[in-house]
Amino acid sequence: MDEVSSSRSIPSELLQAVLDNPYEGMVIIDDKGIIQHFSKANEDLYGISAAEALGRHILEVVPNGRLHIVARTGKAEIGEPFNVRGKQIIISRYPLRQGQRVIGAVAKALFHNQKALSTLRGKIRALESTVKKYQEGIRELYPSRYTFDDIVGKGPLTKRVKEVARQLAGADSPVLIIGESGTGKELYAHAIHHSSSRRNHPFVRVNCASIPSELFEAELFGYDPGAFTGASRSGKPGKFELAEKGTIFLDEIGELPLGLQAKLLRVLQEKEVERLGARKPIIVDFRVIAATNGDLDHRVSQGYFRADLFYRLNVNSLRLPALRDMKEEIPMLVQHFLYKLQKDTASFISELDNEVLGVFSEYEWPGNIRELENVVERALNICSGRRITVEHIPDNLLKRESTGKEAISAPNATLRLMTREAEKEQTIEALKLANGNKSQAARLLNIHRTTLYYRLKKLL
């Protein structure tokens, strides 16, 4: 009753102005298809005056019209192209209801001429082009670089982990990758994203341990103009917005400040973010992959990590093995790193002494695959020949301090000691013959000058 009295209070001239506005030529029919209102803006379009159209059936005025069908079915037709006397327009048709009963229908012509329609189409194409360029720019800034083919290894543990990871790639729920430092957590995150349905969209990496806590919220969630002193005038999208339709990789998730964990949980549950200084949230579409090198269960029990966030992230877990548990992969990994690193070092070394592989197989590798790569790179940098020997690997690998055991048996230790003494005597003799000139001494020994410096540091 209030609504009726409210509508009656609107002056009749205002209602007539709405019906006759020139921007949307309006036609209203009753449930029998009889025209009850015909906007004057339609007269040129349909070639008939408003006075002549009133009281006639819609098909008499618009032979190819569909407004009577909408009045019969009660189903709206929005933004449909329509040809009127050779002119293309965009029209929307809506049923008019009184309670549950359809009592008529109204048609609104949104564009009366081709020029207006072409202008809108041009604006839409320009907007689509801008959006496409923006999305392509984001993909170029945040691409996924690795696939499952980049994960080296054919051992049973590696095969099993890759198999599980491939299965997880087909889902869209969160993945928690667990593994010690250097086991390849980011590599697996890239591969999962690249094998997922989101592969053509951004892969955004966030290291939760490297961003200062005071900047973390702005980095993750973004901010609006004027949100704080020094904020960009145009604002800034956060990492979740940049990951739209793609994947956000939260590395070292265990280091996320406790105060932000509740907000992150809300983002994961609601799929919306609220920028700093914003009045309303932004809906985002992303997949989250998190990684940790620690025991999140332990951090939860200590109160450093929210239990509800842990359970939300731990929907699918992927545990990566340590290198010490799959030492059969070491020879293949070494060959892979030799091939990969030679491109950067211009080296042509492709062989290792069996003794080196023996040392590698005995070492516990606390730094895992990353440490192995670093050791191979160091050996390439100081080796002047075509074969890497034990003199090119760090002493800590020989001592095996991490296990607290003797690195080698007594006979091998004696042999190594004798070898080092012979190297020492050779080096001293070469320096004497070269009158202390290290470059000339290196040439006499047929080794690189860098290797000579390393020997001097190790032996003298």
Q: What is the pLDDT of residues 50-60, one digit of tens each?
A: 899 999 999 99
CATH topology match: 148-321 vs 326-459: no
Let me know: does 26 contact 112? Beta carbons within 8 Å: no
Supply the angle between the helices 368-382 and 330-345 in degrees, to the nearest 10: 50
List all residues 6 or more positions away from 7 whose beta carbon is below 8 Å from its beta carbon: none
The domain spans of the chain are 2-112, 148-321, 326-459
The architecture (CATH level 2) of 326-459 comes to Orthogonal Bundle (1.10)
Give the residue from 109, 120, 49 showing the smallest Cα distance to 83. Answer: 109
Let me know: does 33 contact 68? Beta carbons within 8 Å: yes
Which CATH fold would you assign to the domain 2-112? Answer: Beta-Lactamase (3.30.450)
3-state SS, residue 165: helix
Let me know: does 30 contact 104? Beta carbons within 8 Å: yes
Question: What distances in angstroms separate CA 402 from CA 186, 208, 221, 416, one per listed residue?
Answer: 26, 29, 42, 21
Q: Chain centroid to CA 240: how far?
A: 9
Distance, CA of 157 to CA of 451 (rounded, Å) = 37
CATH class for the domain made up of 148-321: alpha beta
What does the pLDDT read at residue 44?
A: 82
Q: For 366-404, what is each residue's pLDDT tens digit?
A: 999 999 999 998 888 888 777 888 888 888 887 643 444
List all residues 6 or more positions away from 451 whose beta carbon is below 8 Å from its beta carbon: 382, 383, 384, 391, 392, 442
Can you say whether the dihedral through the CA atoms of 197, 200, 202, 205 is positive or negative?
positive
Over the chain (460 residues), the average pLDDT of each successive run of 10 is 50 73 82 91 86 92 90 88 80 90 89 57 61 51 79 91 95 94 94 93 89 82 78 81 92 88 90 87 93 89 92 93 92 88 68 83 91 90 82 79 42 56 76 80 68 63
